Each structure stands twice: as structure tokens, then as C-alpha cells.
Amino acid sequence: MRCPSCKSENAALRRFCAQCGSPLPPACSACGFENEPGAKFCGGCGKSIEEAVARVPASFSAPLPTEGAERRQLTVMFCDLVGSTELSTRLDPEDLRDIVGAYHRCVADVVTRFDGYVAKYMGDGVLIYFSYPRAHEDDAERAVRAGLALVDTVGQIKAPEQLRARVGIATGLVVVGDLIGAGEAQERRVVGKTPNLAARLQALAKPGDVVIAQSTRRLVGGLFDYCDLGAVELKGFAAPVSAWQVLREGAAQSRFEAFRSEEVLTPLIGRRAEVALLLDRWQRAKHGEGQVVLISAEPGIGKSRLIDSLVQEQLRAEPRYTRLRYFCSPHHTGSALYPIVAQIEREATFAHGDPPDTKLHKLEALLAVTSPPAENVMLLADLLSIPGTGRQSQLNLTPQRKREKTLEAVVWHLAALARQQPLLIVFEDVHWIDPSSLDVIGLLVKQTRRLPILLAITFRPEFEPPASWASQAHVTTLVLHRLDRQDGAAIVRLVVGGKTVPAEIVDQIVAKTDGVPLFVEELTKMILESGLLEELSDRFALTGRLPLLAIPTTLQDSLAHDSLQPASPPAWSWLKQNDLIPD
């Protein structure tokens, strides 16, 4: 909340400025309008100010940065209420006010859920930012998920006729932060083509559709299913623009696969000792001496790539073993047993629209190989939200006991599979795990020692495994470190297909990426796509003077969030010191 007197920022629920004591204009939660101090009813929608202030959405609670303008990558969303003009001709103004207010609240609630920022309400349109004022490593993904949620949720608003929304999303570099306007109209200006592109894509979208730019499509990879709209003509843009309609969440099993499914993976470099350790633990597990390996590393270092190498390159010749993979998600940390549920649904081949009977038959077929007790089938059917049928007796358990027995049923099934043949269980991104799934892993760690199971658990350094795990003899902790200069140069050679690259290019890439394999690959690809190098028969040659290297688009959100940070200073400071971004 900005003070109209001294212009300082204040927390959203303050009534008086923390710096000068002046009354603050209360923001309306229904429409976002900032009213003059002392107002009893909102000037934007007519709602009671006291009611509005009592439930200010989180989208308005994040104070805007007070420093000057800055250049940064931003994902911009435009959301439009379709047919509002026609609606205004058929409804009483008060009824219309209620509908628009409900629509604005719906947008604020959904955007807040994905930690976006509602920048401006413009009648039936809403301008939304992701990555400003708060940045996340997955802002483009958050925007797309929010868009899909918006078009679904707006359609559920109670109104005389069904409401429909349409959404346009684009990502790109902008200059953000210049103050424009005065008093209640003062806001931070965003300059660049990205907001205009998002607005044009929104106008292109049909009711209920989410349309994204190529820049956003590249950042979200295979996380979603799309319809390629081809190159479209947009007002104000000289050349046709590639656009994509987002249909639904994709079927990619892991985030690693979603972002790498369209690429040829480079061979694993600099991890010979780590692969040897995993193979040793696998050999022990195969012979009944179960093992647990805790794999910790910063993002971009190669946790998932290491597991992929073990499976695709080292265990390919294994005659008989079962592999089960569980993926935690940053968007489901509050959803009990999310990775367990998702894995069972994949293994049982649940399809969108399957009726309850079909799902139950598929679940029973999946579990039949271990002949579980009937109660276990009922517990797991209940976990998957399959409605009860005549073949299922009613579970008569307290919530706490039901939870305990459900966890036991999950572990029982895994132990039964392991008794049939060796089992490789992988839990990825456990820093995003929900408490119930963490309890499942705890039970597995205890039981694994007596079974032919290798349990591999990957996570970032901020996750601290329970002390009871690491204290057990069959548990090994494996920390992946950054690569040395020689290994970094080897990755560059692999990315360029083995051809010789000018030494000054290799030296800059290796020096500036600080041993993070993801940095090395993305910066090398960016240079190849930039036209800076000319490909000859056996080598690449510089086409001109070596310029300042910029940050690849695929890394901008992560670096803004500071999740991919080099060894010592924060990521942005390090990049400036190494001339990867301008001051």
C-alpha cells in the first residue's frame, strides 16, 4: 500500500503510514480500487470498505519494490471476461456490479494461489504479472497453470448466464519499475513488447481458451498439452507470431522429462564415481541387502540426469527388475500423498473421463500381482477418490487410523513387489514433498534393509532428511558437486557435436557458468542459436568480435529467483561480476 503523502510502501492491512502517520487509502478486495482515506464504500464497485479491507487478497499484500527501474524477464497475463458488454445491456447495473466483483475476486484468488501479482483491473480485463514483484524459478509455468485455473473457475461463478474468460500469456524482457501517475493512480510502468503481445494473444483466444507465445511455450516445455496455432498475424507486430493454445496438463511423468523430452541428452560427464557408487548399492540390493541413497545437489547440477544415466545406460541389460518413480511437485506440497497417487494412476493407466467402475477394475488389475488383502484395495481405492461400489464394504475407521492403514497399504504393496523381483524406487524432488508422503518414505527406509530394494531419494540442499534416516547403516548420502573446468569444456564439445569451438568461447562459457552443467548447456546452445558462430566442415568460427554474453531465456526466471546460484555471491551479483548481464 503506497502512502499518498510520503509515497512510502506499507503493509496491505495498515490503516496509517508507518513513515509519516498519514491515513492510508484502503484497497478493495473485490475490485482492487484504492479509495480515499475515510471512505465507507468502494468507489470502484460499491462494496463496503470494512468488509473489503477485512479480506484483502494476497495479490495486494506484496509491496512493490521501492528502487528504480530494472531490466528483467517477466511473464505477463491478460485475462478478459468474454461478452461483458452484451451482459451490461441485459442486466441491472447493481446485478452487473455483483458479477464483475465476483469475477475480480475469482481472478485475485486464483492469481494469489500461484503467487502472481494483479497489476491492474481494467473493467472486464485484468493485467497480471508473474516474476514481479516476487520472482520464482517457474514463473512461466505458474502463469499457465493460473490461466487454466482461471478459465475453469470463472465458468463456475454463479450468474444469470454462464461466464467465460479467455487468457493470453507472453514472456520476455521488459523494463519495470518507473513510477507513473500520481496519488491513487500511481503505479509501476512496464515497458517492452511483452505486455502488448499478451494482450493481442488474449484477443486471439476463444472463450475458455488459454493462448501463449512461443517465448512462454519454450519455458514450459512438455508440462502441458498444446495445439499449435501456427504463425498468426497480430495488430502492431510486423511479422507473424507463433502462438499455442494450452489444452491441459501434460502426461510427462517427471519435470526432467517434460523439459528434456524434445532434446537429445548429452552423455553424463564428470560423474563416474557417483555412478559407480549407485551401481555398488544396486548390486547389494539385488542380493537382498536393501539400500537407500540420499542424493543432494543444487538445481541444475544433475540429480535427475544421474538417475536417468543409471537406468538408461547402466541397468539396461538387467534381466529382471521393477522400477517405480515418484515425483514431488512444487504445486502439490499441500496435497496428501500426491506423488503416490500420481504414480498409481499412471501405472494403472487411468484415462481422463474413466468412470468409477473402470478405474476400480484397473486398480484391482494393478494390485492383483501382489494379492493384497481386500482392505488394502479399499484403502487405495479411497485414496484415489474412487467412489464406493457394491463390491466394496464400508471402511469403519477413524481418520487417523485410516491414514495409518493407508500408508501401510502403500508400503505393503511395494514390499510384496520386491519379494517377486528386485525393485528400484526413485523419489525425486523431495524438497517439495508433502508430510504424508514423507512418512511413507520413512516406513520404506525402515523396511528396505531386509528387502531387495534400492531406494534413491533426490532433493535440494534446503531439505534436511530426518536424522533417523542417515543414522542407519544401509543409508548413504551422496552430494553432487559442481564440475571442474575440464568437465565443463567437455560438455561444450558434446553440445556442439564434437566440432572445434574457438578457445575464447569455451573459456568464457566455462569461466562464467561456475561448474553448473545446466548453465554450460544452455549458454552453449544460446551461442549456437545467436549467429555468433559460423559452422564449417570441421569447426565453428567466430563471425565477428566476441560480444557480451547474455543470460539464456531458459535461465532468467531461475536466476531472478536465485535458485541457481554460484558458490559464493547471489546469482545476480555473480552474473554482473562475470559480465553476463549489464549494470
Q: Tens-of-pLDDT digits for all 583 residues of the chain?
A: 556 555 555 554 455 566 555 566 665 554 445 566 556 666 655 655 544 433 334 344 445 555 567 788 899 999 999 988 888 888 888 888 889 999 999 999 999 999 999 998 888 899 999 988 888 888 999 999 999 999 999 999 988 888 999 999 999 988 876 655 555 455 667 888 999 999 999 999 999 999 999 999 988 888 899 999 999 999 989 999 999 999 998 876 667 676 665 556 778 899 999 999 999 999 999 999 999 999 999 988 999 999 988 988 888 888 789 999 999 998 888 899 999 999 999 999 998 889 999 999 999 999 999 999 999 999 999 999 998 654 445 678 888 999 999 999 999 999 999 999 999 999 999 999 999 999 999 999 999 999 999 999 999 999 999 999 988 999 999 999 999 999 999 999 998 888 898 888 898 888 888 899 988 888 888 888 777 888 888 899 888 776 655 555 555 555 555 444 333 333 333 343 344 443 3
Q: What is the H or E stretch that residue 103 is in? A: helix 93-113
Any bridge partners for residue 425, and if so which? 324, 455
Q: How many other C-beta atoms are found inside a 10 Å radius of the C-beta of residue 135?
A: 20
Residue 480: CA atoms inside 13 Å, Cβ hemisphere, count? 31
Look at phi and psi of residue 339 and say left if phi exceeds 0, alpha if psi is from -120 to 50, else beta: alpha
What per-residue confidence (pLDDT) applies to 91?
85
Task: Identify whether the C-beta of residue 281 lies closer than 8 Å to the C-beta of residue 493.
Answer: no
Task: Give the residue among 218, 216, 290 at the shortest CA–CA distance from 259.
Answer: 218
Q: What is the H or E stretch that residue 175 is in? A: strand 165-180
φ, ψ of residue 425 to 5 degrees: the values are -115, 125
First to last CA, the chain: 29
Task: Identify whether the C-beta of residue 484 lies closer than 8 Å to the C-beta of residue 515.
Answer: yes
What per-residue confidence (pLDDT) applies to 427?
97
* Contact residues for 476 (Cβ-Cβ < 8 A; gap 6+): 277, 281, 291, 292, 293, 294
Query: In one letter, which amino acid is 422?
Result: P
What per-residue confidence (pLDDT) applies to 30?
47
What per-residue confidence (pLDDT) applies to 562?
47
φ, ψ of residue 307 to 5 degrees: the values are -65, -40
Task: Identify whether the C-beta of residue 363 lies closer than 8 Å to the C-beta of residue 386.
Answer: yes
What per-residue confidence (pLDDT) applies to 231?
94
Residue whose C-alpha cell is 454462464 = 162
What per-residue confidence (pLDDT) applies to 558?
52
What per-residue confidence (pLDDT) applies to 53?
38
**One-character DSSP codes across 452-479:** SEEEEEEE-TT----HHHHTSTTEEEEE
Q: How many other C-beta atoms are found inside a 10 Å radius of the C-beta of residue 492?
A: 21
Pull the grid cell for residue 42: 468502494
What per-residue confidence (pLDDT) applies to 181?
54
**One-character DSSP codes across 154-169:** HTTS--SS---EEEEE
